[in-house]
Chains A and B, each alone.
Chain A
Amino acid sequence: MDIKKIKENIVFWVIKSAAFLNLLALTIFLFFLVKNGISAISWKFLVLPPRDMMTKGGIMPCIVGTLVLSLGSIIVSLPLGVGAAIYLCEYAKQGKMLRIIRLGINNLAGVPSIVFGLFGLAFFATYLHFKVSILTGILTLGLLSLPVIIGTSEEAIRSVPDTYKEASIALGATKWQTIYKIILPSAIPGIMTGVILSISRVAGETAAIMYTAAVFYSPHLPTSIFQPVMALPYHIYVLATAGTNIDKTRPLQYGTALVLVGLIFLMNFIAIMIRSKKQAKN
């Protein structure tokens, strides 16, 4: 065997073991979570609110809260983000201003979520009087996921071949018709990737909601978006750090974590289904 072949083999094995290690880490993590949390999971756990100072009962309000917050934030950030991406790709003049906007977006992506939380508290909750509520949480989380949505949408829009655009324009389509009928449909799978990434991030977000949307405990579901909610990640945080009986509620903590991970998987799965359905249509 010559030296080139040996080198290639070594690289192959390094890469393969890296992939394997990743898989192993994920498996151990999931196993740990399931082993500790599965005992808490039951039908009642999923559909009942907590009781007895949150040492018993279920986590239904938290599940609903997390669903509402993550879907709501996507409803805010998707049109804004895709709109911004269309502007940046198709309308903005290349130049200094555009570079500054891009820099801003990239920096926004790097801002810690607690800072978004503080901003949401100061601006939406206090200044706009939205208080600590679902609305404030959705807007804060929407802002937080905006850079990801813009970034992936931009990439998706740019990867649509120019030849499609030319064909459409040459047939007498306006720019907007070309964007709406040709570019966006081709970009949807890429945009959905951004949505998947955002949902995962937002659903698990704790720091950004603890001052803006989440409550410690609420026996009832909110009836409007001007009320706060319970949420899974914040509930875990509360049980694990400030609960009335931290050790006694360990299984509940793991159970909640397991539900959160399951919920994120489920939402990702749905988004992936939508994406591949769109791809198959193309």
Chain B
Amino acid sequence: MEHKKKIQVKDLDFFYGENQVLYNINLDIPEKKVTALIGPSGCGKSTFLRCLNRMNDLIPGIKVRGKIILDGQDIYDTGVDVVKLRSKVGMVFQKPNPFPKSIFENVAYGFRIKGIKDKDFIDERVKTSLRMAGLWEEVHDRLSSSALGLSGGQQQRLCIARAVAVEPEVLLMDEPASALDPIATKKIEELIYELKKEFTIVIVTHNMQQAARVADYTAFFLMGKLIEFDKTENIFTSPRKKETEDYITGRFG
């Protein structure tokens, strides 16, 4: 790979209790590129994604083997501050999940929990983040009204603004557009295109065209194994593995 590696995944195994769902994953995620994870339902894409910011830690009985190295440091090392890790590796979820607070407070939340009090700084960052998420024009005159009054697409862009406000380096997105209509989806895709200038993005998607449109690299998962990982154009035009070809041509999955 000719790009700088942001995250290196080495021999990753993952278990929910006794049930192994990821097998020996090896994958390098390039910096400031979009990497898409594709594969049939239940193949472990979300599980893999949630390993990258240790969200799986919330689930009792999980077991992780192997290494995930972010900027030279294994994030599963004992002594790693997961709170710090998660402000470095942000996440956007499948269903928009704004807090039942005002639009402003949603974006400012990351600063509130860090104990930042500087009002001018927060105002400025909220504004920039909303701009970055392409939402500023739509909400600038109602920042203090509830975020729950926004449309689904707006809510999702608010969640993106909330995630980028704290200036993470990596942005994980788990099917961020699957609950949205085509127009809102298009907006999110354009946004991803903009965001990759500043962030390393890993996105799970079920939508093959979407992967082809937004991703520089694509990883194909099948039953907990990484089958193929390559530049997106190679995956979609000349896959090396038969399983990949079967999947992208819609022969199964």
Using CB atoms and an 8 Å cutoff, list the residues of chain A in contact with chain B.
Answer: 94, 161, 163-164, 166-174, 177, 181-182, 185-186, 282
Contact = CB atoms under 8 A, between A and B. Distances in A.
Given A163-B95, A163-B97, A181-B113, A171 B55 contact: no
Which 7 A/B pairs are nearest by Cβ-Cβ distance?
A: A172-B87, A163-B97, A170-B91, A282-B100, A172-B86, A173-B113, A167-B97
Contacts of A170: 53, 55, 86, 90-91, 93, 163
B58 interface: yes
B92 to A, nearest CB: 9
A169 B93 CA distance: 12
Contacts of B60: 94
Nearest to B94: A163
B97 A172 contact: no
A174 B85 CA distance: 12
Given A94-B60, A171-B113, 5 more contacts: A164-B100, A181-B109, A186-B100, A282-B101, A282-B146
Interface residues of B, number: 28
A69 B190 CA distance: 62
Contacts of A171: 86-87, 90, 109-110, 113, 162-163, 166
B113 A166 contact: no
B113 A167 contact: no
Interface in B47-61: 53, 55, 58, 60
B91 A168 contact: no
Which of A94, A172, A173, A185 has the most chain B CB atoms inside 10 A of its CB?
A172
A65 to B, nearest CB: 40
B112 interface: yes
B1 interface: no
Interface string B72-114: 0000000000011011001101010111110000000110111
A163 B90 CA distance: 15
Contacts of A167: 93, 97-99, 159, 162
Contacts of B109: 168, 171, 173, 181
Interface string B22-65: 00000000000000000000000000000001010010100000
A186 B162 CA distance: 19
Which of B87, B93, B113 has the most chain A CB atoms inside 10 A of its CB?
B113
Contacts of B83: 172-174
B99 A172 contact: no
Contacts of B87: 171-172
Contacts of B84: 172
Which of B55, B100, B162 has the most chain A CB atoms inside 10 A of its CB?
B100
B97 A166 contact: yes
Contacts of A174: 83, 113
B95 A166 contact: no
16 contacts: A163-B93, A163-B95, A166-B58, A167-B97, A167-B162, A170-B53, A170-B55, A170-B91, A171-B90, A171-B109, A171-B163, A172-B86, A172-B110, A173-B83, A181-B113, A282-B148
A25 B12 CA distance: 68
Contacts of B159: 167
A174 B60 CA distance: 17
Interface string B108-135: 0110111000000000000000000000
Nearest to A180: B113
A166 B91 CA distance: 10
A133 to B, nearest CB: 43
A172 B166 contact: yes
Nearest to A280: B146
A253 B110 CA distance: 59
B69 to A, nearest CB: 20
B1 to A, nearest CB: 27
Contacts of B146: 282
A94 B60 CA distance: 10
A178 B63 CA distance: 24
A167 B156 CA distance: 12
Interface string B155-166: 000010011001
B180 to A, nearest CB: 16
Nearest to B100: A282
B129 to A, nearest CB: 12
Contacts of A177: 113
A166 B101 CA distance: 16
B97 A181 contact: no
A191 to B, nearest CB: 15
A169 B55 CA distance: 8
A167 B159 CA distance: 9
Contacts of A161: 97
A163 B93 CA distance: 9
A166 B166 contact: no
A250 B113 CA distance: 60
A168 B98 CA distance: 10
Nearest to B112: A181
